Amino acid sequence: MSNRLGELVKLLRGHRVFIQTHNFPDPDAIASAYGLQVLLGQFDIQTIICHHGNVERATTANMVAEFGIEMTNDEDLEDMTAEDYIITVDAQKGNSNIRELIGNEIACIDHHPVTGEYSGYEYSDIRLVGSCATIIADYYRKHKIRMSEMVATALLYGIKCDTRDFTRGVTQLDVDIYSYLFPKANSQRIRHFQSSEIEFDELNAFADSMRNVEIFNGVAFAELNFACSDAFMATVSDFVLDVDGVNFVVVYTRRNNGFKFSVRSEYEERDAGLIISEALKDVGGGGGHKSMAGGYADEAKVLGISIDYVKVIQNLFINVINSIPHTEPTVSNEVFEGDDV
């Protein structure tokens, strides 16, 4: 795993290269794409960052604007061809959160568990660390490549977001990368991004959703009864997980003839990715990390079980959680030895 940058550069040279993030990119996806673009630029490989879905949250929009990151929406990519190369970052081809584009997905850099069947990458660097930005920063560190304050700040912010300030999914590599990035980054900018994670016009929606929280034996459910972004759902799940006595959170909203889910877990024993994939296997699908996961359920299939969809959703999750042998919960830290995970 150690000297692979040369391999990647060699693979890309002479091709038109796109860096594609997951849909509705979050700070980790944006930081990773940006950090990779600047890195490859140092080897004279020009890239175009592309994505599907808007970058409209205040924090992500601030990031893009303040760093001057050029992000092209897939609808504006008129001239991508099947010969063009795509590197997927913070996502893997075939996942439900990344749109299929015409180019050739030749490479992947990601920190999510492998779920799809796609095996066409000629280069893949998938490590189960706290953020994709950690992996990108590791390339700079290993190869002693100069890093600008903007890149360091973006990557550090990406790590902080995905690990929730180093409280979830943190590995030794994330910690090492933190100490590598910290002296290079601008902390004031990070504070500014962090202080705009909830938007003013979301405050009422946020308060309403808190009134709908139901808790059963440490498992909290919240239905969001209004159109909301994935990022907003994630913010709500994180917030509910902070409630004393809650160690597992299921937040969901109705969307496109279905239900969209965001799940959080505090304990190793309640593996969010495994639980959601099991809970939704007959009505949709889901997956993710031990501590954070997402998924989708088909409305007709849920309502086919019972018209009382709230109970259906609660039962689907609670049945899976209750089937897990009960042991004393341990706090999930997912610390791995060494940095090549």
Given the rule CB under 5 A, which residues bind Mn ion?
A: 28, 90, 132, 162
User: Residue 140 CB, nearest distance to Mn ion (Å)?
Assistant: 18
User: Residue 101 CB, nearest distance to Mn ion (Å)?
Assistant: 19
Whether residue 186 contacts residue 153, with contact meaning beta carbons closer than 8 Å, is answered with yes
Residue whose CB is less far from Mn ion, 132 or 198: 132
Residue closest to Mn ion, measured at CB: 28
Residue whose CB is less far from Mn ion, 231 or 320: 231
The one-letter amino acid at 115:
T
Residue whose CB is less far from Mn ion, 175 or 215: 175
CA gap 57, 26 in Å, rounded: 9
User: Residue 292 CB, nearest distance to Mn ion (Å)?
Assistant: 9
User: Residue 26 CB, nearest distance to Mn ion (Å)?
Assistant: 7
User: Residue 164 CB, nearest distance to Mn ion (Å)?
Assistant: 12
Residue whose CB is less far from Mn ion, 107 or 132: 132
Whether residue 172 contacts residue 129, with contact meaning beta carbons closer than 8 Å, is answered with no
User: With 0-12 CB in 10 A as exposed, 13-18 as middle and 19+ as buried, what is 58?
Assistant: middle
Dmax over CA atoms of the chain, in Å, equals: 59
Residue whose CB is less far from Mn ion, 28 or 271: 28
The one-letter amino acid at 232:
F
Contacts of the segment 210-216: beta carbons below 8 A, 24+ positions apart: 210/239, 210/240, 213/240, 213/243, 214/314, 215/243, 215/245, 215/246, 216/314, 216/318
